[in-house]
C-alpha cells in the first residue's frame, strides 16, 4: 500500500516536470512554425536588415532594422542608467549600510520589483514624459530616453538583489585579509570584493538587461512607437516587443504581416535566450 | 644584557561582544623582538586579543572596547586604522592566497599602498619571499597561480605578503592549524628567523608549538590572562594549577 502511494506520487511529480518542459517546447515549435513561414515571402536578410517597416502597405515592407535598433537603443540607455546605480546600491547595501537601513533598503528594492509595468508606464507618461519634453524643448516627450529611464527602474531590483547576494557571499576572510594588510574600506571593496564577486555581478547585469529587452507595456506607453531608424536618444522609437503587442490584434491571420510578427518573436526569443545563457554561465562560473 | 624595549603596553583592556565579555581586565606588556605565544582553550579570548592589537575586531558591529593598548607609547585607538594595520601585519589560520600569480600576491599590499616603481616592487617582493623562506621554492615560477602551491607554501606566501608591506609586528592566528608537520616546521623556522627583525605574537592551539617557538607564553582562560612568563618556566613550573592542567592536557 505504501509502495503504491510512493509510486503514484513519484509519477505525478514526473508528469509535472515533463509537462512544463513539454509546454515550453510546444510554444517554441509553434513560434518557429508560424515565424519561419514568413521566409516563403521575404528573405531572412531583407527581414533583419530592411530599413522600413510598413506592414500594411501594398506590397508590405517588412524590414525590422528600425525595431531592432529601437530595442537596442532603449536597452542600452536603460543599462547605462541602471548598471552604475544598481551596482552602487548593491555595494552600499552589502557593505556600507548599517543593519537597520539595510533591511529597509532591501524591502524597498523588492517593492520596486512588485510594481506592475503598466503602472510604471503610466507614471512615466504623466511625470517623466512632460519633464523630458520641457527639459530638451522637444515636440514630444515620448522618446527612447523616457523608455530607458523607466526601464532602468525595472532592471534595478534584479541587478541590486542579485549583485548584493554575490557581494555578500564573498568569504568574510577575504575582507579581513585585505583589512589586515592595511587596506581602506574602499580599497577592500574595489580590489577584493568586486573582483571576487564579479561573475555574480555580471550575471545580475545580464538578467537585468534580459528583463529590459523583454519588457513591453511600459515601453509601448512612453517611447512614441515610431517605426523609423532612431536618429538620437531623444527621438521616438519603437521596440520589437511593442510592435508585436500593438499589431498582433490587427494582423490578418495567415498574412505576411502575421507571420512577420511571429518572426519578430523568434528574434526576441533568441536575444533573451542568449542573454539568459550568458547570465547562467557567469553565475555558475567558478573562480 | 639590556632590558628589552617594550613594543606593546596593554592596560586594563576589556572587550565585549554584545553582552558577552571576551577579554577581562587584561594587563600585559609585549617586548620588541620576542615571540609571545598565546595559548588557551577555545573561547578563551586569545583570538580576540590578537584582533584587538590591530583593531580588526572593529569589523564586528557590536563590539565594545575599554582600556588602553599602546604601541610604542601611542594609543592604537587614536592611530589611523589603516596605518596601524600596515605596521601590524596579520597571518590567518587558513592560507588565503588571492586568485593571482605568486608574484602578484606578494606585491598586492605594496601596490595597494601606492608604490608604482616596478624595480622597487620586485626587490621588495623578492626580499619578502626570502624572509618567509619561500624564495628558493618559487623563484622560477613567480608567474604561476598561487593556488598551485601546497598548503604550507601558501601559508608562507601569506607571510611574505604581510612582510612586503613593511610591518613591525606580525600577528599569527593559529597559522599552522591546517598544515602537516613538515610544513608546520617550515613555518616555525620562518618565525624564529623573523623575530630578529619583528615582534611576533602567536596564537596557537598547539601547546607544543608554543613551547618550541615562544620566548614567553601567555595562558588565557575564559577571557582572563591566567599567567604569562618565560616559556620554559610556564612549561616546567607554572604558578597556577590551571595552567599546569591545560598544558598537561587535562582540559581544553
CATH number at residue A169: 1.10.3720.10
Q: How far is CA A211 from the centre of its chain?
A: 2
Mean pLDDT of chain B: 89
Q: B49-87: per-residue pLDDT in tens? A: 999 999 999 888 888 999 999 998 889 998 898 899 999
* B78 found inside a domain: no
pLDDT of residue A258: 92
**With an 8 Å Cβ cutoff, are A287 and B99 in contact?**
yes
Q: Which of A180, A192, A195 sits opposite B89 (nearest CB)?
A: A180
Q: Are residues A167 and A219 in the same domain?
A: yes
Please determine, for residue B2, whether its predicted confidence score (pLDDT) is greater than 70.
no
Question: A-chain residues within 8 Å CB-CB of B90?
Answer: 180
pLDDT-derived band at B1 (thresholds 50, 70, 90) equals very low
Average pLDDT of B213-240?
A: 91
pLDDT of residue A14: 95
**With an 8 Å Cβ cutoff, are B82 and A183 in contact?**
yes
CA neighbor of A149 nearest in space, from A120, A119, A110, A115: A120
Which cell goes with B19?
553582552
pLDDT of residue B3: 53
Q: Are residues A179 and A230 in the same domain?
A: yes
**With an 8 Å Cβ cutoff, are B85 and A179 in contact?**
yes
Q: Which of A174, A182, A287 sits opposite B113 (nearest CB)?
A: A182
pLDDT of residue B97: 86
> B64 to chain A, minimum CA–CA distance in Å?
16
Question: B-chain residues within 8 Å CB-CB of A197?
Answer: none
Best mutation target, A102, A174, A181, A192, to test chain B (most B CBs within 10 A): A181
Question: A-chain residues within 8 Å CB-CB of B157?
Answer: none
Please determine, for residue B24, whether its predicted confidence score (pLDDT) is greater than 80.
yes
**With an 8 Å Cβ cutoff, are B165 and A182 in contact?**
yes
**With an 8 Å Cβ cutoff, are A181 and B83 in contact?**
no
* B13 found inside a domain: no
Q: Are residues A176 and A139 in the same domain?
A: yes
* A47 found inside a domain: no
Q: How far is CA A165 from the centre of its chain?
A: 19
> B35 to chain A, minimum CA–CA distance in Å?
19
Q: How many domains does chain A have?
A: 2
CATH number at residue B172: 3.40.50.300
Average pLDDT of A227-239?
A: 89
Mean pLDDT of chain A: 90
Give the angle A207-A210-A214 at the CA atoms, nearest 5°: 145
Please state, for a pLDDT cut of 90, what percent of chain B lies above it: 55
Distances (CA, A) of B123 to A162, B118, B135: 42, 9, 12
Give, for B84, the enclosing helix (H) or strand (E): helix B81-87
Q: B170-207: per-residue pLDDT in tens? A: 999 999 888 889 989 989 999 999 988 999 999 998 88
For B83, nearest residue in chain A (alpha carbons): A182
Q: Are residues A212 and A132 in the same domain?
A: yes
Q: How many CB pairs under 8 A join A and B?
A: 54
**With an 8 Å Cβ cutoff, are A180 and B112 in contact?**
no
**With an 8 Å Cβ cutoff, are A181 and B59 in contact?**
no
* A62 found inside a domain: yes
pLDDT of residue B251: 62
pLDDT-derived band at A266 (thresholds 50, 70, 90) equals very high
pLDDT of residue A41: 87
Of A61-75, A113-127, B238-252, least confident by mean pLDDT is B238-252
Alpha-carbon Rg for chain A, nearest whole angstrom, is: 23
pLDDT of residue A279: 87
Q: Are residues A112 and A160 in the same domain?
A: yes
Q: A97-147: per-residue pLDDT in tens? A: 988 899 999 999 989 888 888 998 999 999 999 999 999 988 888 999 999
* B196 found inside a domain: yes
Please indicate if any CB of chain B lies within 8 Å of the CB of A101.
no
pLDDT of residue A287: 45
Average pLDDT of A175-192?
A: 89
Question: B-chain residues within 8 Å CB-CB of A174?
Answer: 96, 98
What CA–CA distance (Å, rounded) separates B70 from A230? 67
pLDDT of residue B59: 86
> B236 to chain A, minimum CA–CA distance in Å?
35
Question: A-chain residues within 8 Å CB-CB of B95?
Answer: none
Q: Are residues A125 and A258 in the same domain?
A: yes
Q: Which domain holds residue A170?
A: 53-284
* B74 found inside a domain: no
Query: Measured between alpha carbons, how far apart are the two ends of chain A, in Å?
Result: 49
Which cell goes with B131?
624572509
* A48 found inside a domain: no
For A173, nearest residue in chain B (alpha carbons): B96
* B16 found inside a domain: no
Best mutation target, B53, B55, B79, B109, to test chain A (most A CBs within 10 A): B109
Q: Which of A177, A181, A184 sits opposite B165 (nearest CB)?
A: A181
Q: Are residues A203 and A245 in the same domain?
A: yes
CA neighbor of A181 nearest in space, from B158, B157, B222: B158
pLDDT of residue A284: 80
Please determine, for residue B219, whether its predicted confidence score (pLDDT) is greater than 90.
yes
DSSP A166-221: HHHTS-HHHHHHHHHTT--HHHHIIIIIHHHTHHHHHHHHHHHHHHHHH--HHHHH
Contact by Cβ (8 Å): B199, B54: no
Q: A29-50: per-residue pLDDT in tens? A: 999 999 999 988 888 888 999 8
CA neighbor of A228 nearest in space, from A70, A78, A41: A70
**With an 8 Å Cβ cutoff, are A182 and B86 in contact?**
yes
* B187 found inside a domain: yes
Q: Are residues A126 and A73 in the same domain?
A: yes
Average pLDDT of B97-124?
A: 89
Q: How far is CA A15 from the centre of its chain?
A: 31
* B126 found inside a domain: yes
Q: Which domain holds residue B145?
A: 33-54+84-247
Q: Looking at residue B12, what DSSP letter applies?
A: E
Please indicate if any CB of chain B lies within 8 Å of the CB of A249.
no
Q: How many domains does chain B have?
A: 1
Question: A-chain residues within 8 Å CB-CB of B159?
Answer: none
Question: A166 CB contacts (<8 Å, ≥6 apart)?
Answer: A90, A197, A199, A200, A201, A203, A204
CA neighbor of B46 nearest in space, from B168, B206, B163: B206
Q: Are residues A8 and A140 in the same domain?
A: no
* B23 found inside a domain: no
Q: Scan residues 88-127 of B and list those with Cβ closer than 8 Å to A.
A: 89-90, 92, 94, 96, 98-99, 108-109, 112-113
* A45 found inside a domain: no
Amino acid at each position: 500500500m505504501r509502495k503504491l502511494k510512493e509510486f503514484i506520487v513519484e509519477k505525478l511529480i514526473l508528469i509535472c516536470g515533463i509537462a512544463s518542459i513539454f509546454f515550453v517546447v510546444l510554444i517554441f515549435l509553434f513560434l518557429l512554425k508560424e515565424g519561419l513561414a514568413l521566409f516563403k515571402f521575404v528573405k531572412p536578410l531583407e527581414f533583419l536588415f530592411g530599413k522600413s517597416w510598413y506592414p500594411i502597405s501594398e506590397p508590405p515592407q517588412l524590414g525590422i532594422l528600425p525595431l531592432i535598433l529601437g530595442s537596442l537603443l532603449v536597452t542600452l540607455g536603460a543599462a547605462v542608467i541602471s548598471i552604475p546605480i544598481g551596482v552602487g546600491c548593491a555595494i552600499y547595501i552589502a557593505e556600507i549600510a548599517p543593519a537597520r537601513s539595510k533591511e529597509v533598503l532591501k524591502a524597498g528594492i523588492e517593492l520596486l520589483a512588485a510594481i506592475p509595468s503598466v503602472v510604471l508606464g503610466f507614471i512615466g507618461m504623466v511625470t517623466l514624459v512632460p519633464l523630458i519634453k520641457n527639459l530638451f524643448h522637444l515636440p514630444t516627450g515620448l522618446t527612447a530616453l523616457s523608455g530607458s529611464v523607466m526601464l532602468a527602474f525595472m532592471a534595478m531590483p534584479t541587478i541590486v538583489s542579485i549583485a548584493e547576494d554575490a557581494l555578500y557571499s564573498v568569504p568574510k576572510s577575504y575582507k579581513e585579509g585585505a583589512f589586515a594588510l592595511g587596506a581602506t574600506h574602499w580599497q577592500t571593496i574595489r580590489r577584493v570584493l568586486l573582483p571576487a564577486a564579479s561573475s555574480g555581478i555580471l550575471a545580475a547585469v545580464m538578467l537585468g538587461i534580459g528583463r529590459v529587452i523583454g519588457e513591453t507595456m511600459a515601453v509601448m506607453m512612453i517611447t512614441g512607437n515610431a517605426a523609423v531608424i532612431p536618429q538620437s536618444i531623444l527621438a521616438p522609437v519603437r521596440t520589437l516587443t511593442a510592435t508585436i503587442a500593438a499589431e498582433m490584434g490587427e494582423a490578418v491571420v495567415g498574412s505576411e504581416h502575421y507571420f512577420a510578427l511571429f518572426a519578430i518573436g523568434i528574434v526576441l526569443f533568441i536575444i533573451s535566450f542568449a542573454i539568459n545563457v550568458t547570465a547562467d554561465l557567469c553565475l555558475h562560473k567558478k573562480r | 644584557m639590556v632590558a628589552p624595549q617594550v613594543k606593546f603596553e596593554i592596560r586594563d583592556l576589556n572587550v565585549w561582544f554584545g553582552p558577552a565579555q571576551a577579554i577581562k581586565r587584561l594587563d600585559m606588556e609585549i617586548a620588541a623582538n620576542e615571540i609571545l605565544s598565546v595559548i588557551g582553550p577555545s573561547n578563551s579570548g586569545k583570538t580576540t586579543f590578537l584582533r584587538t592589537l590591530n583593531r580588526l575586531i572593529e569589523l564586528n558591529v557590536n563590539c565594545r572596547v575599554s582600556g588602553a593598548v599602546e604601541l610604542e607609547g601611542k594609543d592604537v585607538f587614536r592611530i589611523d586604522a589603516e596605518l596601524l594595520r600596515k605596521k601590524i601585519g596579520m597571518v590567518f589560520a587558513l592560507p588565503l592566497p588571492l586568485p593571482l600569480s605568486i608574484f602578484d600576491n606578494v606585491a598586492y599590499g605594496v601596490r595597494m599602498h601606492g608604490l608604482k616603481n616596478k624595480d622597487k616592487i620586485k626587490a621588495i617582493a623578492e626580499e619578502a619571499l626570502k624572509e618567509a623562506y619561500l624564495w628558493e621554492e618559487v623563484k622560477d615560477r613567480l608567474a604561476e597561480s598561487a593556488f598551485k602551491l601546497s598548503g604550507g607554501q601558501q601559508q608562507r606566501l601569506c607571510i611574505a605578503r604581510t612582510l612586503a608591506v613593511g610591518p613591525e609586528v606580525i600577528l599569527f592566528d593559529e597559522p599552522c592549524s591546517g598544515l602537516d608537520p613538515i610544513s608546520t616546521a617550515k613555518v616555525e623556522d620562518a618565525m624564529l628567523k623573523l623575530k630578529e627583525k619583528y615582534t611576533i605574537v602567536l596564537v596557537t592551539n598547539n601547546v607544543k608549538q608554543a613551547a618550541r617557538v615562544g620566548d614567553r607564553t601567555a595562558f588565557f582562560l575564559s577571557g582572563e590572562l591566567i599567567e604569562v612568563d618565560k616559556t620554559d618556566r610556564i612549561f616546567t613550573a607554572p604558578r597556577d594549577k590551571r595552567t599546569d592542567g591545560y598544558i598537561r592536557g587535562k582540559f581544553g
